[in-house]
Every structure is written in C-alpha cells, then in structure tokens.
Amino acid sequence: MENRVIIGGQWGDEGKGKIVDALSRDVDWVLRYQGGANAGHTIHIGKEKHVLHLVPSGILHEGVRCLLGGGMVIDPWSLRDEILALEQKGHEVRGRMHISATAALLMPYHMRLDELRESRLKRKSIGTTGRGIGPAYLDKIQRTGLRMGDLLLPAENLERKAIEKILSANEVLSEFYDAEPVPARVLAEELVVLSQFMSPMVVNPYAVLRGVREGTESALFEGAQGTMLDIDHGTYPYVTSSNSTIGGAMTGTGLGPRSLGEINGIFKAYCTRVGNGPFPSELLGEQGDALREAGGEYGATTGRARRCGWFDLVAGRYAVDVNGMTGVIITKLDVLDNLPTIQVATAYELDGQQTTTYPVLSEAVPRCRPVYSEFAGWNKPTTECRKLVDLPAAARKYLEFLEKELDTLIVGVSVGRDREQMIWTETGVTT
C-alpha cells in the first residue's frame, strides 16, 4: 500500500480516527505526528466503542505497529492508563507501541499552568482542553522541558532532573499566579516508576522507521486537530500549539517529503468547532442545536458541545491548497439525511467586498459573513449505502458540488460511525 497522510481539513473533530482505523489494516506502521492528549479519536467496531487520545488508531488492527512521533507532547500518566485500558479489552499494545525518544514529556504542572492561564484570560481565553498542551510546547520551544528519552536515564538521574524542572515550574506557579506548588518529590518518584513501564517502548525513531524511509514498509500518518487550528496557518490565536498541517507530518516523524505519498484531507459534510475563535458559517439557535444533536457533536476529550455550522468552502479550498491534498474524504454525510435544505458557504463578505480567498489576518476573519448556495435535502437514509450508485440523487449532487469546488477528488464518503459504513471511490464522485 502507498503511504498516506490523514489531515483534518476543518477545525478538528472531522472523524479522522475512523478513517485511520479503516485504512490502517493494510499498513505496517501508523505514525502519530503532533498534538497530545487533547485529541480524541472515537472508533466504533460493532457494539464496541474506543476513545483514543494518544494511542494511534491503528492499534486496533493486529500486527500493525504504531509510533508516537517526536512532534508530540506526551503525558505518560495518561498514556499508561490508555494502554492498560486497551490491554484489558484484549488488544496487544506494548509489543507494537513505539515512542519517539525526542517527543516532549508533558508533566502535571503543565496542566495546572494551562488552567490558570485560561482562567486569567477570562473572556479572551482560547478555550483549550486544559490538558497542558500549550505549556508543554512552550517548554519544548524554550528548550527547558523533559523529553521521553529522559525516561531511559538511571532512576536517580531522572528523579534529580525531574525535581529540578518541577521546582522551576513551582516558581512560576507561586510568583506569577499566586498558586499552590505541585509536590516535586512525589511527582518525580511517580515518574521514575512510570519510566519502568514506558522505557521498553522508547525508541530512536530514525532507526525504527528505516523501512519506511527505504520504501520496504508502508505507513499511515495520523494527524490530530485540523488545518484551521494549525499554529501557523489556522485562526490564530485560537489555534493549537503544533503544526496540524502537512509540514507537521515530516517534522513530527523525521521522514522526508518522498515518504508521504497520498495526502488525504478529512472533511465533515458540515462544519464544527470546539472552543473559542471565529467560525464564519456557524449556525446559532435551533438550527445549530438540531445539527449538534443529530451528529452527536460533543467532544471526545472534554465532552464539550461543539459549535455547528454549514460546510465552508472558502476555508475548505484553503485547507486543500495549504496541504497539497491529493484527495478528500467526506464524513458524517448521514447526519444530513433528514434536513429539508442544506447550505454551503461559497464566499465571504468582508468589509463590503466579496472574496473567495481565505483571509489570514486574525482581525479579518471575525468580520467575514458567509455567502451561501442552497441545496435540496434527500430525506432518505444513507447509512446502508456502500457504493455511489446507492446514494440518493440529491446526496450525489451535493458531493459532486463539493468535489468540483474543492478541486480535488473525493476518494471516500462515511455514512455512519462503524468502520464498515464507508463508500470508497478511486475516481471521485462526479459522473
């Protein structure tokens, strides 16, 4: 199988977990390249439901190896609990799980700092998950953080190094936030115990991915969040702290562009967003509430209600171009099954002018007002469809419009939450 990158095309929560699970059965590796436990990938297999935060979705396929890449920030407490929960369900994890020694190590004080910062910002808060992601990346960038490779140190060295970092964080908690310090020795001792669990999985990613680099092994690159939350290309400052676009796949794994292969963007058949920040096509009131309930739009990580809106083609075309997507996969088409009409934002009104170019200035996006095209609904269930010809004519027309406007092939359509509820097409949806 050719290597493939899976990238969120919107504001995250596009259903990447299901798509990675569906595509990873035939690969050697699934590589998670950025983010941390702020991700929530929900996978339904029959009556079983799995919610993964750090462990790549490919772990649910026997024999597939998984890597947590160097572009991630990893909470070892959360990772241990997630691994044990999967193993209790009968999945072999530790023999197939690999953790890059270069990945940043997320500590409990990062979560405390995240909460305090958000609380201080009040109405101007980002709306983070509170998982400590931003503070952990900050430590990485200012070169003061721990890395997963530190878990390979002798116990006394690791404990000493951890206490030093915790005491430094406690100074910030005390002096800047007037908050209680975290228990340095207790946490350091816990980390030493955790290192015994984690250290057999910590690897040199350059060495273990040699087969992918040389083309003798195949890989699926798994992203978290979405394009519009990318630290450089998203709706700054209401973004995540890492590169969730195509560049993150390379820097987060150490693999070059020749290793990437297909680049598939995942888009919901509508849009959602968690947290604060501009969302031009957002639906407020009863329409938004109805879409949320129909789609079960509540965060897998936080349980927060997602903001819902119509498909945004301005942002969508931007995501396709920024990532160089070779194809897109549309998820949750079935959520629209009972709507009488469906709208798509095809342009923005910005300061009296109509534009189809996504504005990157932070101050401009909140002033954008969507210009809509309307489509008739199909009022028929799509959940049993497995081929394009099975879809209602109005659903086909909607997909054909999206394919034309995004200017790239739709290579898959999800019509339900189960891994088998998929329509795959190699030549797009346009007849």
| Phi, psi of 74, deg, nearest 5 | -115, 125
| Phi, psi of 227, deg, nearest 5 | -55, -40
171: Cβ contacts below 8 Å, ≥ 6 apart = none
In the residue annotation, 41 being an active-site residue is answered as yes
Residue 407: closest CA among 324, 329, 317: 317
Give CA separation, 280 vs 219, 322, 371, 380, in Å: 35, 19, 10, 29
Catalytic residue among 28, 41, 110, 230: 41
In the residue annotation, 139 being an active-site residue is answered as no
Residues 27, 52 contacting (CB under 8 angstroms) = no
The type of residue at 428 is G
Q: Which residues are catalytic?
A: 13, 41
